[in-house]
Amino acid sequence: MDGNGRWARKKGFPRIYGHRAGAEAVRSTVRAAGELGIEVLTLYAFSTENWLRPQTETRALMGLLRMTLRREVIELNRNNVRLRAIGRIHELPQNVRDELERCVDITRSNSGLILNLALNYGGRQDILDAVNASIKQGKKTIEEEDISRNLTTAGLSDPDLLIRTSGEYRISNFLLWQIAYAEIYVTPVLWPDFKRTHLQEAILNYQKRERRFGGL
């Protein structure tokens, strides 16, 4: 979900306004994804590298996350959404973890869209943690399956489509293992401007592609 800062700057607002507008875009995208019958939506909300930002911004982001979770949980639940989180969750501020845990608990038995929030997430860290978990489990030689079932995405299928907003052509340490065969769609739209139509456009584009997974 990239482009919040640029969106705000273009309007002459402080960056946090962009993040707030970004939270609104999350709201509408989650609803659209549910209605379109998407099974899993993973949103890259905060990377392990985002801690490099000034503390005023990381604090504001954590506050926004907590408030958004608190505000949205009832509607998420009403829409049959099941919330999940990936990343080094244990390193998040305690009050964010508490709120997150509460939302995961409330929505646990829902059967609709799985909304997977990547928080304090890094693809390399995810792989490292999975390798180390495999070693702890007594593995001397590590197979693909050992990694997959120890990643924070365990139990979720690998993403089919990766949407990158704000026109950047890079992965930024997102789901590195899991996107091996994902179709990539880059849109110049800044995240706060991302609407249902953009999601539909991305899916239509995806549907035209021929996926061969290395075969013929």
Binding site for ligand IPE (CB under 6 A): 1-6, 22, 46, 50, 61, 166, 191
User: With CB cut-offs between 5 and 8 Å by kind, which of Mg ion, ligand IPE, none does residue 86 bind?
Assistant: none
* Cβ atoms of residues 21 and 8 within 8 Å: yes
Structure tokens at 156: 């979720």
The residue from 4, 50, 105, 160 that is catalytic is 50
Asked about 193 being catalytic, the answer comes back as no
Pick 2 or 160: Cβ nearer Mg ion: 2
Token look-up 């982001």 returns 61
How many Cβ atoms from other residues are within 10 Å of residue 159's Cβ? 20
d(CA 153, CA 52): 25
Cβ at position 50, least distance to Mg ion in Å: 9
Pick 3 or 87: Cβ nearer Mg ion: 3
User: With CB cut-offs between 5 and 8 Å by kind, which of ligand IPE, Mg ion, none does residue 193 bind?
Assistant: none
Burial of 216 (0-12, 13-18, 19+ CB in 10 A): exposed
Burial of 22 (0-12, 13-18, 19+ CB in 10 A): buried
Contact region with Mg ion (CB under 5 A), list: 1-9, 35-43, 147-155, 193-201: 1-9
User: With CB cut-offs between 5 and 8 Å by kind, which of Mg ion, ligand IPE, none does residue 159 bind?
Assistant: none
Q: Sign of dihedral through CA atoms 98, 122, 62, 39? A: negative
**Is there binding between residue 57 and Mg ion (CB under 5 A)?**
no
Structure tokens at 197: 């139509």
Asked about 2 being catalytic, the answer comes back as yes
Pick 11 or 71: Cβ nearer ligand IPE: 11
User: With CB cut-offs between 5 and 8 Å by kind, which of ligand IPE, Mg ion, none does residue 30 bind?
Assistant: none
Figure out which of the listed residues 2, 146, 158, 183 binds Mg ion, where binding follows CB under 5 A. Answer: 2
* Cβ atoms of residues 1 and 45 within 8 Å: yes
Cβ at position 1, least distance to Mg ion in Å: 9
Residue nearest to ligand IPE (CB): 5
**Is there binding between residue 146 and Mg ion (CB under 5 A)?**
no
DSSP state of 39: S
Pick 53 or 196: Cβ nearer ligand IPE: 53
Q: How many CA atoms lie within 13 A of 84 on its CB side?
A: 19
Chain-centre distance for alpha carbon 63:
18
What residues make contact with Mg ion under the rule CB under 5 A?
2
- Residues tagged active-site: 2, 50
